[in-house]
Amino acid sequence: MTIEDLKSTIRDVVDFPSKGIVFKDLTTMIKNGEALQLMSKALGDIYAGKGVTKVVGIESRGFIGGSILAYELGCGFVPARKPGKLPAVTIKKAYAKEYGVDTIELHSDAIGENDVVVIHDDLLATGGTMRACYDLVKSMNPKKIYINFIVELSQLDGRKNLPEDCEVTSLLKY
């Protein structure tokens, strides 16, 4: 199995979560042991040797790949969550996404100035969620920030909403 073969393990769900959306369901990929192992190694290979100290995973599907990536790199994992889900003091940012408005939070002590951070989510659509998370992480003044996705929906041009000075990688592009 190759990286490109991973596409065949991803299911399309029409009209989810709302009419007109074709949802890329990665649960069918991660339930396949060979595909999960390949994805895990590929994610780790991207950032090997870059000094990453923290991976921020965006709720909820970003928790899966983000945790795997943190494990592969031997670094810490930081959850970026919806409001009211984190127990300590948080910072937050509201953002627009392709089917509504939402808010994302991080613990205020999650990232330090000596951290090199990868922000991970499963999928890049319009980029609103990732941009909000990037802005939160950036406000904590880490040494470096990388952005990573498993899947990118290129036709939605979400990269235009992401910072130009930040390396953005996707394993798969549609």
Average pLDDT, rounded, for the chain: 96
159 is catalytic: no
User: What percent of the chain lies above the pLDDT cut of 90?
Assistant: 94
In 13-170, alpha helices (H): 27-30, 33-47, 62-73, 128-138
Residue closest to 142 by CA, chosen among 162, 161, 117: 117
- The parent domain of residue 91 ranges over 50-173
Which pLDDT score, from 0 to 100, does residue 97 have? 67
Which pLDDT score, from 0 to 100, does residue 98 have? 61
Q: How far apart are CA 36 and CA 54, in angstroms?
A: 21
Let me know if residue 102 belongs to a domain: yes
Annotated catalytic residue, options 59, 61, 72, 105: 61
Annotated catalytic residue, options 4, 34, 59, 98: 98
Let me know if residue 120 belongs to a domain: yes
Let me know if residue 144 belongs to a domain: yes
SS3 113: coil
Q: How many domains does the chain have?
A: 1
Tell me the two tokens of residue 27.
């649960």
Let me know if residue 28 belongs to a domain: no
Let me know if residue 130 belongs to a domain: yes
Let me know if residue 44 belongs to a domain: no
| pTM (whole model) above 0.85 | yes
Evaluate if residue 124 carries a pLDDT over 70. Answer: yes
Backbone φ, ψ for residue 109 (5° rounding): -110, 20
Let me know if residue 11 belongs to a domain: no
Evaluate if residue 82 carries a pLDDT over 70. Answer: yes
Q: Look up the CATH number of the domain holding residue 58.
A: 3.40.50.2020
113 is catalytic: no
Mean pLDDT on 145-167 = 96
Let me know if residue 7 belongs to a domain: no
